[in-house]
Chains A and B, each alone.
Chain A
């Protein structure tokens, strides 16, 4: 069963497994916060490249990361695709389909910026999450003191999503065996929605029993993990990332560099 996040298997060692899980959990935030705060496409693309290099250097599973991203990419496109039609004043293209449709430059640029920002943020998160195992992920969010109700809910959520998906598949197969025919997309959607609602109710009951079983084993709202200390090396790595982002934001003119590099291949007349 495939989980929603590209977690690493416990036996699968990566180059950065030695870094403390909390640090691996924090790095993506350090990388993405600047370009989410500063509207700069060059910074976003730079972070995207840096992340890609890190994925290759750390030998993270690129295929696994992209298999999760490709499921989300359609939603990102849906979010930004209509922006060029509504935002802006400078028309860059116009066509007639009974009604006149205009594409604005400002909206187009915003759409590209937004697309890259969301895509890069997800890519960075997925990349670093693929270096964490499920338990390291839970350990990290527990230790940086996320509210226990959030951690508990997340544990139950991540545990039940695969079970829910599996139950859905089985019910659907059982219905097909009893003659249910899914002829078009609409029927498929209706069937899935109906089954999902039903299995969701069953799983709510299940999660209550899971909670009871946790209570029987002493659960008081906090999940405890085997202690693992943060070393100086871990803090050093965190500081390196902070410094890199700081330099990129304040000391390097990324726009000039990109224009210069592009100019090398396509000299401006």
Chain B
């Protein structure tokens, strides 16, 4: 199945939580990759904090410094021999002095509650810990926009709680804007302020989250918990 992302126009308010919703293969991750310049758009303009996304490496880095991109699979992000090295990687690339790098690493590891694991290999961590380690790797760069691709996928409830608690605390303290993708309507409904619903690369809805999830077209497209609940109850009663 192939399609292109077409005719999309949307704004994300600063310091808000914005969700990108859609079924598997709807183009959510592709859109995220376009937003940070990992993919190049054929036409149109992408602006992040007022700066237009270009192919110029210096300009691109100026924008990317302000954006933290959390990949869906933490193994796609963790590469260094120890968590501390991995977390410090982004900070060192900012060309700040070593003391500041160390301060930020310590702060980020404390924030994600992984200080005691700093000398361990990322390969030895659990999935939830890996996710938090990748988050710390972004936090050291002090991003203004945090892009989270399926941040709660494959996490147990306890890990989701910890993860959410950390992100929310940081969002408030650091005044970050959050853009996330999720299949989980519970999070979308309760966490996001605005949403963009995608279907095969096209926008179905863009606006307030509550209104969006009430929209018939959206409901039909992404389904709902009620539907699943009904199916289970019906099968049980038979």
Q: Are A217 and B137 in contact (CB-based, < 8 A)?
A: yes
B177 sits at the interface (CB 8 A): no
Chain A contact patch, size range: 20 to 34
Q: Are A218 and B64 in contact (CB-based, < 8 A)?
A: yes
* 5 nearest A-B residue pairs (beta carbon): A218-B93, A134-B81, A217-B90, A10-B119, A209-B76
Partner of B93, one of A10, A219, A225, A226: A219
Q: Are A163 and B64 in contact (CB-based, < 8 A)?
A: no
Stretch at the interface among B66-74, B206-214, B218-226: B66-74
Per the 8 Å Cβ criterion, residues 87-144 of B in contact with A are: 88-90, 92-94, 98, 101, 119-121, 123-124, 137-138, 141
Given A10-B82, A138-B81, A162-B123: A217 touches B76 (CB 8 Å cut-off): no
Some 11 contacts from A to B, beta carbons below 8 A apart, are: A7-B81, A10-B119, A135-B81, A159-B123, A214-B89, A215-B64, A216-B36, A216-B67, A217-B93, A219-B93, A224-B89
- Most B C-beta atoms less than 10 A away, residue of A134, A209, A216: A216
A1 sits at the interface (CB 8 A): yes
A-to-B contact residues, CB < 8 Å: 1, 7, 10-11, 133-135, 138, 155-156, 159, 162-163, 206, 209-210, 212-220, 223-227
Known: A1-B124, A133-B81. 12 other contacts (CB 8 A): A10-B119, A11-B119, A135-B82, A156-B79, A210-B79, A212-B76, A213-B71, A213-B77, A216-B69, A218-B65, A218-B94, A225-B92
Given A216-B36, A216-B64, A218-B64: A210 touches B123 (CB 8 Å cut-off): no
- Most B C-beta atoms less than 10 A away, residue of A7, A163, A209: A209
Q: Are A209 and B71 in contact (CB-based, < 8 A)?
A: yes
| Chain B residues within 8 Å of A7, by CB | 81
Chain B contact patch, size range: 35 or more
Given A206-B76, A213-B77: A226 touches B98 (CB 8 Å cut-off): yes
Whole-angstrom CA separation of A39 from B31 in the bound complex: 62
Whole-angstrom CA separation of A214 from B71 in the bound complex: 11
B-to-A contact residues, CB < 8 Å: 33, 36, 38, 61, 64-65, 67-69, 71, 73, 75-77, 79-82, 85, 88-90, 92-94, 98, 101, 119-121, 123-124, 137-138, 141
Whole-angstrom CA separation of A215 from B90 in the bound complex: 9
Looking across the interface, which residue of chain A has its beta carbon closest to that of B93? A218
Partner of A159, one of B64, B79, B120: B79
Q: Are B98 and A223 in contact (CB-based, < 8 A)?
A: no
Looking across the interface, which residue of chain B has its beta carbon closest to that of A206? B76
Looking across the interface, which residue of chain A has its beta carbon closest to that of B88? A226
| Chain A residues within 8 Å of B65, by CB | 218
| Chain B residues within 8 Å of A225, by CB | 85, 92
Looking across the interface, which residue of chain A has its beta carbon closest to that of B105? A226
Q: Are A163 and B75 in contact (CB-based, < 8 A)?
A: yes
Whole-angstrom CA separation of A134 from B93 in the bound complex: 20
Min CB–CB distance B221 → chain A (angstroms)? 27
| Chain B residues within 8 Å of A218, by CB | 61, 64-65, 90, 93-94, 141
Looking across the interface, which residue of chain A has its beta carbon closest to that of B77? A213
Whole-angstrom CA separation of A76 from B33 in the bound complex: 47
Q: Are A206 and B75 in contact (CB-based, < 8 A)?
A: yes
| Chain A residues within 8 Å of B98, by CB | 226-227
Whole-angstrom CA separation of A135 from B92 in the bound complex: 15
Whole-angstrom CA separation of A162 from B122 in the bound complex: 12
Min CB–CB distance A103 → chain B (angstroms)? 47
Looking across the interface, which residue of chain A has its beta carbon closest to that of B140? A217
